[in-house]
Amino acid sequence: MRTRYVLLAVGVAVLVLLPAYGGNYLVRFGTFLCMYAALALGWNVIGGVTGYPSFATAAFFGAGAYAGALLQVAHTPMPLAWAGAVVFVAAASAVVGIMILRLRGHYFAVGSIALVEVARLVASSWSDLTGGGMGLNVPILPGGPEYAGMVFLYSMFAVAAAAFAAGLWIEHGKLGFALRCIQQNEDAADMVGVNTTACKIAAFVLSAVFAGATGAVYASWTAYLDPSDAFSILLTLKVPVMAMLGGAGTVLGPIVGVVVFQAMEELLWSNFLEMHHAILGLMIVGLIFFLPGGLLSLGAHRRRAPARATSREVPAE
């Protein structure tokens, strides 16, 4: 376990020092890594720990992006606009959560993906506010591209770090235990005194908040938003795949998944962007059938297997 955290610390150092030695390309790559890490860690709270297969990531990412962008267009200073976006997404996700968290399993998955479609429809039809399909220009951060690159790298990094801290807090705290009980057997969790409704909403909102914060930073970073970019089905599929690739339900899994996925994408298929959906589809099938625990479970199996064997050897009375 310790080596994992040492590796993580090294990775963080490489990332944080990027502007000192890397060019624009690497800084941009690092910013995307942080962005997906924040999204995957956020998704993990509801999708991994709680076991609710959410495909709503892009809905809250887009909502945060538009809320932040519109606030900035209305001359709100950037950090305040981001904070406003987070508050908006928290409130919106609480309302939506109350409605769709009544659904379970496939029904929840379908309901959550519908949220993305509905949100995109709203953004593209409400053109007075959002500019519709024409898109929305967000004020550009003054100070030149290098400075801006650094600001957005560190901002995304801060969101990812907060998501990681939240993940650790959840794993070791009472809420995380309750969420794991829900993931294992929701009715039984209710029976042992877990307020399942409140816990699920808390998990859903937490996960949405990180997507919203990420979206708000993203909008300022790219300085331009349109509905299909903000509410992207690709993003909503990619994030759970990344978390599952590394190991859903663990704190480090989503990070490992993001790094591996982004590296593969950059090296292997960045030139075939139109094949993205097909590759994602294949990965989902592959993960479900061959690696349900994710990459991290490959190491864990070796450690856990003997413990399980001994527990079976104890004779039943």
Q: Which residue, 39 or 166, is less far from other proteins as judged by CB?
A: 166
DSSP codes of every residue in 239-272: HHHHHHHH-TTSSSHHHHHHHHHHHHIIIIITT-
Is residue 194 a contact residue for other proteins (CB under 8 A)?
A: yes
Is residue 190 a contact residue for other proteins (CB under 8 A)?
A: yes
Among positions 180, 226, 264, 279, the unique one binding other proteins when judged by CB under 8 A = 180
Measure CA of the first residue to CA of the last residue in the chain; give whole Å: 36
For the bound state, the minimum distance from the C-beta of residue 194 to other proteins, rounded and expressed in Å, comes to 5
For the bound state, the minimum distance from the C-beta of residue 145 to other proteins, rounded and expressed in Å, comes to 48
Is residue 7 a contact residue for other proteins (CB under 8 A)?
A: no
For the bound state, the minimum distance from the C-beta of residue 184 to other proteins, rounded and expressed in Å, comes to 4
Nearest to 210 by CA among 248, 163, 256: 163
Are the C-beta atoms of residues 49 and 179 closer than 8 Å to each other?
yes
Q: Which residue, 37 or 248, is less far from other proteins as judged by CB?
A: 248
Is residue 177 a contact residue for other proteins (CB under 8 A)?
A: yes
For the bound state, the minimum distance from the C-beta of residue 112 to other proteins, rounded and expressed in Å, comes to 24
Is residue 174 a contact residue for other proteins (CB under 8 A)?
A: yes
Q: What is the helix (H) or strand (E) element at residue 316, kind and residue range?
A: none
Say how many residues touch other proteins, by CB under 8 A.
26
Is residue 308 a contact residue for other proteins (CB under 8 A)?
A: yes
How far, rounded to the nearest angstrom, does the alpha carbon of residue 143 sit from its chain's CA centroid?
29
Is residue 305 a contact residue for other proteins (CB under 8 A)?
A: no
Question: 143: exposed, middle or buried (C-beta count within 10 Å: 0-12, 13-18, 19+)?
Answer: exposed
Is residue 170 a contact residue for other proteins (CB under 8 A)?
A: no
Q: Which residue, 169 or 272, is less far from other proteins as judged by CB?
A: 169
Q: Which residue, 128 or 313, is less far from other proteins as judged by CB?
A: 313
The token pair that represents 133 in the structure block: 């399909």
For the bound state, the minimum distance from the C-beta of residue 197 to other proteins, rounded and expressed in Å, comes to 8
Nearest to 217 by CA among 207, 230, 204: 230
The token pair that represents 312 in the structure block: 């079976």
Q: How far apart are CA 86 and CA 113, in angstroms?
A: 21
For the bound state, the minimum distance from the C-beta of residue 250 to other proteins, rounded and expressed in Å, comes to 13
Widest pairwise Cα distance in the chain:
74
Among positions 128, 193, 267, 303, the unique one binding other proteins when judged by CB under 8 A = 193
- Interface region with other proteins, contact rule CB under 8 A, candidates 122-130, 207-215, 234-242, 303-311: 303-311
Is residue 306 a contact residue for other proteins (CB under 8 A)?
A: no
Q: Which residue, 181 or 205, is less far from other proteins as judged by CB?
A: 181
Kind of pairing between the strands at 224-225 and 136-137: antiparallel
3-state SS, one letter per residue, for 110-143: HHHHHHHHHHHHHHHHCHHHHCHHHCEECCCCCC
Q: Which residue, 79 or 173, is less far from other proteins as judged by CB?
A: 173
Q: What are phi and psi of 193, to 5 degrees?
A: 100, 10
Which amino acid is residue 98, in one-letter code?
I
Q: How far apart are CA 55 and CA 244, in angstroms?
A: 13
Is residue 196 a contact residue for other proteins (CB under 8 A)?
A: yes
DSSP state of 274: G
- Interface region with other proteins, contact rule CB under 8 A, candidates 27-35, 139-147, 190-198, 294-302: 190-198
Is residue 312 a contact residue for other proteins (CB under 8 A)?
A: yes
Beta partners for residue 137, in sequence order: 224
Residues of this chain that bind other proteins (CB under 8 A): 172-174, 177-178, 180-181, 184-185, 187-196, 307-308, 311-312, 314, 316-317
